[in-house]
């Protein structure tokens, strides 16, 4: 190794076939498998475990006891070659578990960049996580879940397989989501989970203007609080808001929904108030 090469603790085990970029750090007792590729300046703390076909980007941080690229928890998995792809600048805290994909699910679990996974968070097979999302402690994604950019999933929450979480969505702690979560919304609870209006605070923290937030509130009121069914509400929304990226995001998300989306509102919001 040259001075700019990876730094590997003497107690770590790195397979000769693994490819580690410059500045990579592998801590004590960590194990890096044969088919692993790691971008520059990524850090593995003590006892990290990485196996299978795994590609990790640059400047990621894996805390102790991270389990990365292990086999999917799927009874239909037949040892086929599948992959886990991870972008740049992600933080994975203690005991996070990230599983490879399955052959029937497309073969890949994909995680974008700049995400934060708190301790014990779980990403199952064939999931797709966007950019700048946060998963709280022990938040769990079942197989084939899609998580949009800038979303937040609270501690000890579970997302049912094949569900989607829209961009800028906020899911409160201890929630169980068995349907899609609309973009820009707040959801919490279980049996069933309920919708608590617009994620206004989160949107403002992302530099949304007051006017833009109010427009999103208006669209969601038509969709959720007007008393119309979804088809009529979508038509009314298109009529009142003829164009716009946020409008298109909502409409395309609903059109692509296969499990339906959470629309049962909390009692305080049923009047349509914000």
pLDDT tens by residue, 145-174: 999 999 999 999 999 999 999 999 999 999
Number of DSSP helices (H) and strands (E) in the chain, helices first: 4, 28
Does the pLDDT of residue 37 top 60, yes or no? Answer: yes
Rounded Cα–Cα distance for residues 168 and 242 (Å): 22
Spot the catalytic one: 61, 99, 122, 125.
125
The domain limits of the chain are 7-199, 203-261
pTM of the model: 0.94
Rounded Cα–Cα distance for residues 146 and 128 (Å): 5
pLDDT tens by residue, 79-98: 999 999 999 999 999 999 99
Rounded Cα–Cα distance for residues 247 and 223 (Å): 11
Rounded Cα–Cα distance for residues 207 and 213 (Å): 10
pLDDT tens by residue, 179-236: 999 999 999 999 899 999 999 999 999 999 999 999 999 999 999 989 999 999 999 9
Q: What is the CATH number of domain 7-199?
A: 2.160.10.10
Known catalytic membership, residue 143:
yes
Mean of the per-residue pLDDT values of the chain:
95
pLDDT score of 272: 41
Spot the catalytic one: 39, 101, 143, 158.
143
Spot the catalytic one: 45, 74, 126, 131.
126
Looking at domain 203-261, which of 2.30.110.10, 3.10.20.30, 1.20.1180.10, 3.40.50.620 is its CATH number? 1.20.1180.10
Known catalytic membership, residue 2:
no
Does the pLDDT of residue 274 top 60, yes or no? Answer: no
Known catalytic membership, residue 125:
yes
Q: How far is CA 234 from CA 20, 38, 46, 88, in A?
A: 50, 45, 51, 37
- Give the containing element (helix H, strand E) for 168: none
203 SS3 class: helix
């Amino acid at each position: 190794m040259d001075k700019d090469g990876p730094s590997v603790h003497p107690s770590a085990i790195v397979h000769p076939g693994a490819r580690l970029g410059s500045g990579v750090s592998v801590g004590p007792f960590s194990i890096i498998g044969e088919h692993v590729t790691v971008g520059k300046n990524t850090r593995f703390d003590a006892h990290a475990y990485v196996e299978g076909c795994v590609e990790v980007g640059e400047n990621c941080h894996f805390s102790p006891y991270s389990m990365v690229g292990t086999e999917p928890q799927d009874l239909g998995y037949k040892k086929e070659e599948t992959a886990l792809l991870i972008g740049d600048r992600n933080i994975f805290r203690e005991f996070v578990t990230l599983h490879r994909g399955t052959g029937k699910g497309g073969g890949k679990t994909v995680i974008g960049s700049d995400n934060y996974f708190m301790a014990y968070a779980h990403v199952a097979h064939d999931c797709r996580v966007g950019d700048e999302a946060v998963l709280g402690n022990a938040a769990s994604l079942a197989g084939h879940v899609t998580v949009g950019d800038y979303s937040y999933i609270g501690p000890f929450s579970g997302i049912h397989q094949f569900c989607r979480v829209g961009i800028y969505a906020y899911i409160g702690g201890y929630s169980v989501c068995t349907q899609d979560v609309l973009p820009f919304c707040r959801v919490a609870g279980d049996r069933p989970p309920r919708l608590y209006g617009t994620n206004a605070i989160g949107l403002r923290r992302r530099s949304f203007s007051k006017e833009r937030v109010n427009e999103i509130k208006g669209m969601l009121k038509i969709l959720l609080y007007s008393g119309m069914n979804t088809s009529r509400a979508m038509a009314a929304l298109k009529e009142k808001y003829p164009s716009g990226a946020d409008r298109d995001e909502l409409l395309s998300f609903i059109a692509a929904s296969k499990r339906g989306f959470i629309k049962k509102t909390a009692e305080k919001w049923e009047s349509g108030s914000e």
